[in-house]
Chain A
Amino acid sequence: MNIIEAPLSELKEMLDNGDISAVEIVRAFRENYERDEREELPLNGYIEFFDDAEKAAQKSDQVRESGDPGILEGLPIAVKDNILISGHEVTCGSAILEGFKAPYSSTVVERLRAEGMIFLGRTNMDEFAMGSTCEYSVYGPSRNPYERNHVTGGSSGGSACVVSAAQAPVALGSETGGSVRLPASFCGIYGLKPTYGSLSRYGLVAFGSSLDQIGILGRVPDDIALVLSVAGGYDPNDSTSANVDFSGIYPLKRMKLKGKRVAIPVEISEEGVDEEIRGKIKVFSDWLTGMGVTVEKISLPVLKLSVAIYYIIAPAEASSNLSRFDGIKYGFRDTTGETLEDLYVRTRTRGFGEEVKRRIFIGNYVLSSGYYDEYYKKAMEVRRLLKGRISELFTKYDFILSPTSPVLPFRIGEKVDDPLSLYLTDICTTFANLASIPALSVPLGLSKKGLPIGLQIAGNMFEEEKLLRVAKLWHEESNF
């Protein structure tokens, strides 16, 4: 089997059998990446492919020889450029972090490294993960491997791009309102947004702290399970991390679907949803019905509010989280002014892109005295209500099903100047972040024009395994 197209499970087997080495694996991905770099329109999934990846692979091969390989020994992964890897730059796709080298590693990276995983490179993203297309990166947009003039989706567009284009078998992304699922859907792969607290946020550059979660993108559900099994679980450095144990979920066991119940909320699956996408959802739900699953349309009106409250809560938290980028301690600094105020204003004016500034303004506005009650406080109340409704729903249903995106991947530049219509691409995804539940984007196949379509399955808190097991059955069935 071809290295770059093999799932982790097969690479692992080949390594175990001594058929290939970690060095060969890294070289294969590097070659594929470099080949693409010579294309007329490179995919631009990586901001940096690490020069030291091969060295790490050599070490890993030595470890294997010495007879004590880790669970992920020699297996490679790409990492979104907002997750800290000690000694490597971390830019969040922003000019303001120019030249900033991570002085420590995130918990998730530490855990993967401890089990022998090799980091291939840093992937492109919307600046500070604010965006749905991966166009708001100071390094330029990533391109959709299915159609290079189309967006990858965002904000973890680079991660989805490199996994989809076989430049990495799996990748870490991050979610605040759909940033893993949307690009996974646009690039035709699987993307898991775990339950809030399933993976430590320590070392993930914060955007909306109460919503942020590291996610995993892969071409097969088992690969995601394997990474989750090592990276997930309680971290004393993250007070919001949960006491869960994923160590036993890989390999994913088969699931009996018969008797399961699935809800499809009409609010996010009908009006405004592309016809072709609705058609594919129908195929999937028919498959479920055929397996003995009860699929029911339901109405959950509060879902209509999720984008509105998301675009209050996330910018509010972001405006505070991004205050630290002030030109004083690290990254870019504009020293052309005279006063401290000049330093702040000029550094941030030049260092941040337009979308980031837009969200900082929104965030500061909704938190300012006199408006707090009207916006932030009210949004938090609606969020509590939404959480309550969702958890009620899970007393009757096992899964919530919907499209991942209401629209097909669109052309680069098509919506870049229309923030409101971009915000609406998040309509199907944000509720999972707001309700802290896990959700998985599942590739359903291609549109007539050859663009990927994805579906979202959301489950109750900490039921990542259940989502992945359904996906595994679908994956075997669909073979997409």
Chain B
Amino acid sequence: MVKYSVVIGCEVHVQLLTKTKAFCSCENRFGGIPNTRVCPVCLGLPGALPVVNRAMVEYAIKAGLALNCKVASVTKFDRKNYMYPDLPKGYQISQYDIPICYEGYLDIESDGSTRRVRIRRLHMEEDAGKNIHLEDDSGLSYVDFNRCGTPLLEIVSEPDITSPEEAVSYVQGLKEIMLYLEISDCNMEEGSLRCDANINLHIEEGGEVFETPIAEVKNMNSFKAMKNALHYEVERQLKEWREHRYTLKDFGKITRGYDDRTGKTILQRSKEEESDYRYFPEPDLKPILIPEELIREIRQSIGELPREKRKRLISEYGITEKDAKILSSSVALSAYFERAAKGYREPRKIANWVITELGGFLNSEGISIEECNLPPVYIRKLVELIDGGKISGKIAKDVFAEMTRTNSNPEEIVRRKGLSQITDREELQRVVKGVVEGNPKSVADFKGGKDHAFKFLMGQIMKVTRGRANPRIARDILKEMLEDD
């Protein structure tokens, strides 16, 4: 048995949801007819010059603060030089030695405990276009520049991650925060969240520690792919160590691409082929000064992050971990819940209504919680009506439907429609008596030992009262009457 530990660091690219591109005023949107969302700037035409999109800078600061980073007071852009057909200028505007944010961390859950992954840096850069290779015999390739100039954040972690599962929960944690901050839609399939992982093994043998060559694994397009790819890589490196005993000193860093169909990683580039990006400060853009005031403003706008919120919702309202996770996924949703639940003695029930019924309603209507006009207090009133025995759970669903349709107060609906439960013993006794007298056969069946006849009679009581009979009281009265005889 080889004793080893896994060491992983992640480089995550996140496309930002700014209205316009990073350095021009083209609309920033996924897709479109090739080469229609372009201008001289993002096409890199001769003479065109970049202008920094302020929103990109603010989003970057926001993300950095949410990841507990320090924010540089002065930052700048640099050119990363390499030639590729999808890169129209022959360089990418990126950030090299002064990233906008640095030295942060993200806490993740791993095996029931909390682990801290340090974040080395977070910087801004522009995305490239896309090469399209025709799959016929022509051998032709095309380039679509629509994506070119889309603002990206690159978030680089320290090699603090110790398993493929942790890597996945780290990236999930990043995604949760980006979604919460509403700065990216983090769609791995569409490529608005892309993760490359640097992975190697530290192998203990004979009191010595050997490091295997670092592999940068690319092309992991889902969390599942990430897990598979990294597990494959652990096994591959172990095997390679057993067979060849290659170390980091022998090979340095290699690049491997994950193939989703085979579940394997394939060698793409060895160290010798690594390019020299010849970074230098972007002369077309002035350094950016970030005033304390702006950082403070952005910090205030962030508020409570999903993870803290989750913890607080659980401790403050006693709701389940699962419900807390759903509610904390969006600022608006958790705020809605809290407004509904504030001061109510059974917040779990409110959480349930918000998640299941309201969630279902929003889903079917295709609207977001932000677009929902239903006052949160109505949900509480509805739950109060149930808990106070005023309406049954079944009736409550009808009231809810009416409430969402008309945006009216559930108490009002119950009153107007005469939906409140009949809890009055005398009234119920009259009803039960009528049912018993009207169904002598069922009464006889019951007495003959057929239990299902009781259910039928209860159903009749509900039918007569249009569901308003308090089931507990009605049941007691029915029992009494049937036994009295």
A→B interface (CB under 8 Å): 83-84, 90, 92, 97, 100, 102-104, 106, 201-206, 208-210, 236-240, 316-317, 319-320, 322-324, 326, 328-330, 340, 344, 364, 367-369, 372, 376
Contact = CB atoms under 8 A, between A and B. Distances in A.
B278 A239 contact: no
A323 B89 contact: yes
Interface stretch (B211-219, B282-290, B369-377): B282-290
A205 B89 CA distance: 12
B81 A240 contact: no
Interface in B57-98: 79, 81, 83, 85, 88-91
A100 B43 CA distance: 14
Contact of B46 (A84, A237, A316, A372): A84
B283 A329 contact: no
B46 A205 contact: yes
Interface of B: 40, 43-52, 79, 81, 83, 85, 88-91, 143, 276, 278-280, 283-286
Contacts of B45: 103-104, 330
B148 to A, nearest CB: 11
Between A97, A203, A316, the greatest number of chain B beta carbons within 10 A of the residue's beta carbon is seen for A203
A127 B282 CA distance: 23
Contacts of B283: 208-210, 240, 317
Contacts of A83: 47
A340 B131 CA distance: 12
B40 A104 contact: yes
A90 B51 contact: no
Contacts of B48: 104, 202-203
Given A97-B46, A329-B43, A364-B278, A320 B90 contact: yes
Nearest to A236: B51
Contacts of A376: 280
Contacts of B89: 323-324
A224 to B, nearest CB: 22
* Chain A binding surface, main DSSP class: loop
Given A97-B46, A204-B47, A209-B283, 13 more contacts: A103-B45, A104-B45, A202-B49, A203-B47, A203-B48, A239-B51, A239-B286, A240-B284, A323-B89, A324-B44, A326-B83, A340-B85, A369-B278
B85 A328 contact: yes
Contacts of B81: 319-320, 323, 367
Contacts of B284: 206, 209, 239-240
Given A328-B85, A344-B83, A369-B278, A238 B49 contact: yes
B286 A329 contact: no
Contact of B90 (A203, A326, A340): A326
A206 B47 CA distance: 6
Contacts of A237: 49, 51
A320 B280 contact: yes
A103 B47 contact: no
B46 A367 contact: no
A203 B51 CA distance: 14
A368 B278 contact: yes
Contacts of A84: 46-47
A103 B89 CA distance: 16
Contacts of A204: 47
A330 B145 CA distance: 14
Contact of A368 (B40, B50, B276, B285): B276
B224 to A, nearest CB: 33
Contacts of A238: 49
A103 B44 CA distance: 12
B49 A369 contact: no
B285 A239 contact: yes
Contacts of A324: 44, 46, 88-90
Nearest to A241: B49
Nearest to B285: A239
Nearest to B84: A340
Contacts of B47: 83-84, 102, 106, 201-206
Contacts of A322: 90
A323 B83 contact: yes
Contacts of A330: 45
Contacts of A320: 79, 81, 90-91, 278, 280
Contacts of A100: 46
Contact of A239 (B40, B43, B52, B91): B52
Nearest to A84: B47
Nearest to B90: A323
A8 to B, nearest CB: 26
A84 B47 CA distance: 7
A319 B284 CA distance: 15
Contacts of A340: 85
A475 B75 CA distance: 47
A90 B51 CA distance: 23
